[in-house]
Chain A
Amino acid sequence: MSGPLTAVLAAFEAGAASLAEVASRTGLSPDVVSASVEHLVRLGRLESRELAMGCPSSGCGGCASATLEGTPGCGATGPDPGRRGLALVALTLRRRG
């Protein structure tokens, strides 16, 4: 059967660029899309990675995406709750061999 998770993965494959677009394409509520994505990440079907918009020359400690401890925020698996700035998270489909 085709459920919300399959529908969300299909929207990924079809080129949706944001979660709002996934919700629009699948007809699922944003809440269900968000929960589905989170679960697909848990299942290892999607990869979640926090992004920074640019690296300051002073290193990770000087970045809004860094954690309060100064460790890198970009490239972390999902937003760190202790981060300083906004989190932009990239979700990518993980191919299964």
Chain B
Amino acid sequence: MRELTVSPKLPSVGAACHGAIDEAGRPGSPIIALAGAPNVGKSTLFNNLTGLRATTGNWPGTTVDVARGAWRFKPGDKVCDCAACDGDCRAGNVREFTLIDLPGAFSLDPLSPDEQLTRTLLLDAPEAELPDAVVVAVDAGHLARSLYLVCQLRETSHRVVVALTMTDVARKAGVEVDSYALAEALGCPVVVLDPRRRVGMDNLTRTVREAVPRPRPTPREYPRKAADDLAREDERFAWIEAAVDAGTTRSGEERLSTSDRVDRWATHPVAGPLLFLAVMWGVFQVTTAVAAPLQDWLDGLFSGPVSDIVGAGLAALGLGGSWVEGLLVDGLVAGVGMLLTFVPLMALMFVLLALLEDSGYMARAAVVTDRLMRTIGLPGKAFLPLVVGFGCNVPAIAATRILGDARQRILVALLVPFTSCTARLTVYVMLGTIFFGRFAGTAVFLMYLASIVAVIGVGLLLRKTLWRTMGSEPLVLDLPPYQVPTARLTAAVAWNRLEGFLRTASGIIVVTVCAVWLLQAIPAKPGAGFNEVPVQDSAYGVAAQAVAPVFAPAGFGQWQTASALVVGFVAKEAVISSWAQTYAVDEPLEGESAGSFGEAVTASFVASSGGHPLPAVAAFLWFLMAYTPCVATLAAQRREVGWRWTLFGVAIGLAVAWLGAVGIFQLGRLFW
């Protein structure tokens, strides 16, 4: 295609085209502008009408591409109605038009260079240089959207012809367009065509040839001196709505797409939340049931052969029994190995969540959550960072910036830590598997439910006390249609999340394992050297024993359990690894055998709860869910809301966690 050679002096459609090269139209031939919103089939129509006899180039003085070409047809048919005409008037004897493909534009009130050029050529040019007619490509599938440009052009003296495309798409959606009724309502001709199949082209040619010789129409009346922009635009949309109503018929139920029918249930005020809960329960149930055998196998692999091989290798190097063996076998292999046992579980869960996202269902869950937030008086937009928080709290805190009101930002930044991030999931699954067996999935699901309850409860508490007058921001969600998930996208999303989790977790774990090992190697009582001290007498053990009594009323006052929670303050990813590390180096008492990690944890909860391990585990899980998620979240909070509110958030989290845990245990021990 050759470059358009147009004199830069020419500022208008008419001036630009007269005298230009032959492909672009014969000099003196009527000029027709082809306008329309992007993606309505305008370019296909242009190519069909010009038969690729077109040139394309930047419009002078702009960077906007404009194509123009010769729209040729057979002369001879008498097309105009003027009394003196003998088939020899301007339209009757012409053999072609010069067709200008204007840049895509929704409106003549420009928001982009493309729309600015379209406005300049159609509105701002001198009348003598305006096109002889404007063909507006209109998408029948999105009629109202396309008609705004028609509405604005009808307010001018342009001869307008509507080229109605995509009627097959509209029909599939249950919308039939009556072109005669639509033409009557719009006050201009409407030609139904399908540019891809070259249907209706002759009709369009004939209609434009008929339109060109006619006098310019009287502009449509509209309230130019309306009270404000909205009033004026409202009048235009009322006109558009009337045209759509007059020109279309809808076939009742048929207009409901599959997405609409599913959404009747998925976003229903009662059925929607129940469906959401059922779906999430299914996700956790499938995840834990399918991944459990793999997790057990990996656990055995790392605690058995891998540890043995590393131990044997160190012994061969003369490092057996040294601090190096302690760090590598009891620290890194135990800690990182424990993390890796969660890989199948995390992978499966990420795949299932990616499937839900890619299908479009998670968008409906957002509607359900949003409605819940508003029902309890929290700002609707707050659901956005909270949903992000179920992935990771750090970006969720940053996402509070979308809230316009400073008090809303603080409130939501304080609530985000109660959303259960994926790092906490590993602990839920581990304890769920140990204590609840085949009901582990349900236990995990209940923890997510508890997380939602905590968000709502604390949110309401703060709304009723600190921020009673907080305003609300209306929010509407534009839901995408459902689709069959694609394997490529699902796999890519799941892999990216798994990779991200492993990268973050492994970095944190290596650092904390080293720190925990160091603290466990430092003696806090006299009589033992570095790395020779029993763990309960190490700096780590002594500090944990000092903290542990605080948790006694909640049923998990053993120092090993308390130490895991202290490490969890740094990052929840490190809870299990440090826990495993503690038990790996914690020698069994006399008369006891060294059992598995699960057995050790069970024995710990049985001992600390006075024989009520289940309520103690429930209390522990609540505490883990509710207290400070990690130092990275605290840093993000400080950045967004300052130190004062961050410390307030830590206090609220610890209070809710401890009070809730004590309540759960004390109540639970009465029944379990």
Identify the A interface with B (CB < 8 A): 1-6, 12-13, 15-22, 28-32, 34-39, 42-43, 45, 48-49, 51-59, 62-64, 75, 84-93, 95
Contact = CB atoms under 8 A, between A and B. Distances in A.
A18 B238 contact: no
Given A18-B479, A55-B395, A63 B142 contact: no
A90 B384 contact: yes
Contact of A43 (B233, B392, B489): B233
Nearest to A89: B478
A95 B245 CA distance: 31
A2 B357 contact: no
A57 B478 contact: no
17 contacts: A3-B241, A12-B474, A17-B477, A19-B479, A20-B479, A29-B248, A31-B143, A32-B237, A54-B390, A54-B392, A57-B499, A58-B499, A64-B358, A75-B402, A86-B358, A88-B477, A95-B404
Given A31-B145, A35-B142, A51-B366, 4 more contacts: A21-B267, A37-B478, A85-B493, A92-B476
Contact of A3 (B235, B260, B477, B479): B235
A32 B241 contact: yes
Q: Which residue, of A22, A30, A75, A87, has the highest number of chain B Cβ atoms within 10 A?
A: A30
B38 to A, nearest CB: 9
Contacts of B404: 95
B383 to A, nearest CB: 9
Contacts of B175: 31
B391 A55 contact: yes
Chain B's interface: helix, strand, loop or mixed, by majority? helix
A95 B501 CA distance: 39
A84 B493 CA distance: 10
B358 A85 contact: yes
Interface in B122-177: 142-145, 147-148, 175
B600 interface: no
B26 to A, nearest CB: 37
Interface string B327-367: 00000000000000000000000000010011010110011
Nearest to A48: B478
Contacts of B499: 57-58, 62
Given A32-B240, A42-B107, A64-B358, A88 B145 contact: no
B479 A93 contact: no
Contacts of B406: none
Contact of A1 (B238, B260, B477, B479): B238
Nearest to B357: A53
A34 B391 CA distance: 31
Contacts of A87: 478, 480
Contacts of B231: 1
Interface of B: 106-107, 109, 111, 142-145, 147-148, 175, 229-231, 233-235, 237-238, 240-241, 244-245, 248, 250, 255, 260, 263, 267, 354, 357-358, 360, 362-363, 366-367, 370-371, 374, 380-381, 384, 387-388, 390-392, 395, 402, 404, 473-480, 483, 489, 492-493, 496-497, 499-501, 503-504
Contact of B475 (A3, A42, A56, A92): A92
Nearest to A14: B474
B474 A93 contact: yes
> Considering residues B111, B244, B504, which has the most beta carbons from chain A within 10 angstroms of its beta carbon?
B244
B480 A86 contact: yes
Nearest to A12: B474
Contact of B238 (A4, A12, A30, A95): A4
Contact of A58 (B230, B267, B500): B500
A35 B260 contact: no
A20 B255 CA distance: 13
Contacts of B492: 62, 64, 84
B496 A63 contact: yes
B477 A18 contact: yes
B475 A91 contact: yes
B238 A85 contact: no
A56 B493 contact: yes
A45 B360 CA distance: 27
Given A57-B503, A58-B496, A85-B357, A6 B234 contact: yes
Contact of B267 (A15, A20, A30, A31): A20
Nearest to A13: B474
Given A42-B106, A91-B476, A91-B477, A15 B374 contact: yes
Contacts of A53: 357, 362-363, 366, 387-388, 391
A96 B483 CA distance: 38
Contact of A18 (B233, B367, B390, B493): B367
A18 to B, nearest CB: 5
B541 to A, nearest CB: 33
Residue in A31, A32, A39, A64 whose Cβ sees the most chain B Cβ within 10 Å: A31
Contact of A64 (B357, B391, B474, B479): B357
B175 to A, nearest CB: 8
A79 to B, nearest CB: 8
A56 B234 contact: no
